[in-house]
Structure 1
Amino acid sequence: MSTPRTLHLGVDLTDGGAHAGGWRAQGPVAPRPFDAARLAGLVATAQQGLLDFVLFDDSFTLRPQRGAALQGRLDAALVSARLAPRSAGIGLVATVDTTHTEPFHVSKAIATIDHVSTGRAAWQLGWSTDAASAAVFGRRPAPDEVDALREAEEAVEVVERLWDSWEDDAEIRDEATHRFVDRDKLHYVDFEGVHFAVKGPSITPRSPQGRPPVVVRAGSPLSLDLAGRRADLVRVQATQRDDARAIREEVRDIARDAGRDPNAVRVLVDLVTVVGQDRRSAQERLDLLEELGGEQGRLPEGSLTHVGTAVDLADLLEDWFDAGAADGFTLRPASLDTDLRAIVNGTVPVLQADGVFRQAYPGTTLRDTLGLPRPASRYAAAQ
């Protein structure tokens, strides 16, 4: 018998929410978007709902909008590292850019989060094509999308080789022989590409997941192709169910053509949510957010959007999931505090009652939650 599909749900905790006015919609409580206790509270709420993961985006520049838009952002990997020992069960997805960050640093940062969280880290692959980000570093001009994605794909290859460079049992800690590691089980990666030449090995022991899942946010044909070849989890945008189903099948076809198992790739649709007690109150909340957001008072364009009740949201999720349009969704609450609580307390119980969402985390790692196998080290397999 085949294992039934399980709906996967993550939540984007970046900034104050998907709406520019979300950070101001805090009622009488003064907004504190960079407060560590607030972030821990949001993760605890998502964990209470047994969501697959929380996600933190990152960037090197301030938002181009002025006025009411939230400005400033904490480092996604460092935030994830802080939250790792203060959470359990839920995955922690950190965005790290590859255009201006060396693969060695990426591999070490994400592997460290995986160790600290005992196997709940993931890396959302980032890249930069804007002149403002390049100017922050001043080392190179901004690449175009083609070059940025080629470099990003090389970076994924290097990072995964570094994650594999320690075999699982390389750390022996043998007091009798005074040996901490078995040097025969540490491997040079010896990668030479167009953008990188990396010898290795990593200085970080192999992490609990072996290779933390790689997440790619695909918003163009080129990035979709990269995602199908390299990602474990693919984030896509679609406003119509049939369009989403076609994108999902395209990702699976790309994965298959690359020699991968398409059933080991999860395709999640981005979904912006504005949840209320009824549809009228949800629309009134959206109207308030647009007023608070000023000139930037609009929901993100191009994403599936739900303005309505928590139960109606559950119906939407199930409909798209059952139709094969998505393996799950990356939820983007318009206002984090309000909409995340509504999802956890109102939407998740409906999905659980309908038997499409879990009653408990299935294991200890994010790969367990996503239903993905733990890969073996390529170097151990080569011996």
Structure 2
Amino acid sequence: MKKILHLSADEKFIDMGLNAFEMAYPKKNSLLLVQKHNTIKHVKFDNKKIINKQTLDKASRKSEFWTDVDVVVFHSLFVYKVNIPKNIKVIWLGFGYDYYDFIFDNEYEMFSDKTQQIMNDKAIKPVKGFIAEFKGIIKRLIFLQYRLKKQKIKMMQRIDIFCPVLTNEYKAIKWPTKHKPKLMDWNYGTMQDNWAKEGSSELCGKNILLGNSATLSCNHLDGIDLLSQIDAPLSKLIIPLSYGNKNYGAFIKEYAHKHFPGDVLALDSFMPFDDYTQLISSCSCVVMPHKRQQGVGNIIVLLNLGAKVYLDKSNLLYSFLKEHGFFVFCLEEISSADFLAELTPEQILNNQQRLFEIWGRASIIDKTKKLVECAL
């Protein structure tokens, strides 16, 4: 085998993925980091080069660009103008955001009624009065979105193998063309190297974790309102709000202080991963009112520690975990008397075993080898 060429943006999960490919195929991986500037925030992988989208488009038209390349791997479908020879197989490792527009007919399906009621509130919009003030710009943006969608669909036709975050998302996708890539199972991160490193934290508190970011799809209002109805003393509510819509994060922070019957800790600045993991290990309950898959890393970490996880029934992550035998719960069960009851040791052990079956190092290396072998 010659070389596996990876294409990605500067995202925090990329090193996890490349580490898996390096464990399976040492020294066979190279990365093109696609961005305009030379500053790298997240990716530490050594064998990489920075390239912008325009240069990538032009350079990939030349045959010498593909010398020694056997397989191309997209870490999310984030760039649509790459001219890949027909003899080279293409793998798409989905992030979620890059295919949700083919699961949901419109973005509103991801939001609860309560979230939809505040969506047009000027206080949470990144740019106030943008639509009213710049109608011409909006029209051009709509046209750009349409054009990009066409480019994305064209790129999707070139994909040979697709790995969604959850395998059950594949059937939910409304594929825009007759061509459907082959479904294969693959995941970012391993329990031993990322989600449950040796010497990592133990569950050490009764706090509650709500959501994973300052994004509307977290449907924070529903979680806060459900928790406020519990007739029992509650520990601290921890809300990660360090990335996403800062104005929305400020709104949720204020709403939580007003309505949650206890202390609130809003995490509105970035924390190193190990420090963040240490902090959330104080949470014995996890409330994720998302209607789409997100915050999977948080959930893996806390399930392994023994926390109870509450999810929206319509979230494909809920059905995925239930189908794989995990003990997880739906939002409706938050109002029950058992909300504060801990998982039994048997339930915790079951969840841990199933996590290692899916995200264990040996499992991820095996999945990576099967994925590349299928593409060769």
| Higher relative contact order, chain-length normalized (CA < 8 Å, sep 6+) | 1
For the superposition of Structure 1 and Structure 2, which TM-score range results when normalised by the shorter chain? under 0.3
TM-score, normalised with respect to structure 2: 0.27
